[in-house]
Amino acid sequence: MKRKTYYSQKIKKAAQLLFYKHHIKPGVKGWELRKKLGSDYYKVLKVLDDHLEKLNMQVKIVFEGEEPKGDPTSEQLDKARFYITLKGEVTPKETKMIGWRIDDIAGLATAISYIIAKRGKAPRAEVEELLRNKLPEWRVTMNMNRFIRSGYLTEDEKGQVYLDWRTRAEIDQRALVKLVLSEPEGTPVS
């Protein structure tokens, strides 16, 4: 019984660490979790992830650099950032609760898709030009700044735009590319 209580307390602590913002960026680094929860923090997070599944949420890991192939090492986990995100797709009704207009979300999807197509980076001017074809002129700069401020995109001093932490944490990039490349329903096949 003591063991169950011990792990129950660890799961509560893990949830508190992940749900509440402690830094500029949300989420927690692996080394912080190890310090607060012990060396078995990854196992604790897997149990928390099982509990969150009932709420359509998940513990998401964003690694520095490329994602490891196979099981991550303890060093990779310590450097990674852990978040709690929604699991699966968001319905149009749920999208309204996010607080973004549907055309802003479409603009974000367009910008992310374009950057993915350009192998992870693109000049800001090119992304803005693409968005000008899809959105009213006055919304383009405002949206780009919002995407950067929100952590979906980042910009370097040379004007190159990259995918940022929030895109890697919240967006299934493969599913987005597949969606962009698929033909809309009802499109006649030639």
CATH of domain 93-181: 1.10.10.10
Average pLDDT for 122-141: 93
Query: Does the pLDDT of residue 113 top 80, yes or no?
Result: yes
Instruction: Say which range, 77-81, 94-98, 108-112, 165-169, has the weakest mean pLDDT.
Output: 94-98
* Residue 190 confidence class, pLDDT cut points 50, 70, 90: very low
Predicted confidence at residue 36, as pLDDT, reads 92
CA atoms within 13 A on the CB side of 51: 12
Instruction: Tell me whether domains 2-88 and 93-181 share a fold.
Output: no
Structure confidence by residue, pLDDT tens digits, 38-84: 999 999 999 999 999 998 889 999 887 777 888 888 888 998 999 88
- The CATH architecture to which 2-88 belongs is Alpha-Beta Complex (3.90)
First to last CA, the chain: 66
What is the SS3 assignment for the chain? CHHHHHHHHHHHHHHHHHHCCCCCCCCEEHHHHHHHHCCCHHHHHHHHHHHHHCCCEEEEEECCCCCCCCCCCHHHHHHCEEEEEECCCCCHHHHHHHCCCHHHHHHHHHHHHHHHHCCCEEEHHHHHHHHHCCCCHHHHHHHHHHHHHCCCEEECCCCEEEECHHHHHHCCHHHHHHHHHCCCCCCCCC
What percent of the chain lies above the pLDDT cut of 70? 92
Asked if residues 10 and 38 have their Cβ atoms less than 8 Å apart, the reply is: yes
Give the start-to-end residue ranges of the domains of the chain: 2-88, 93-181
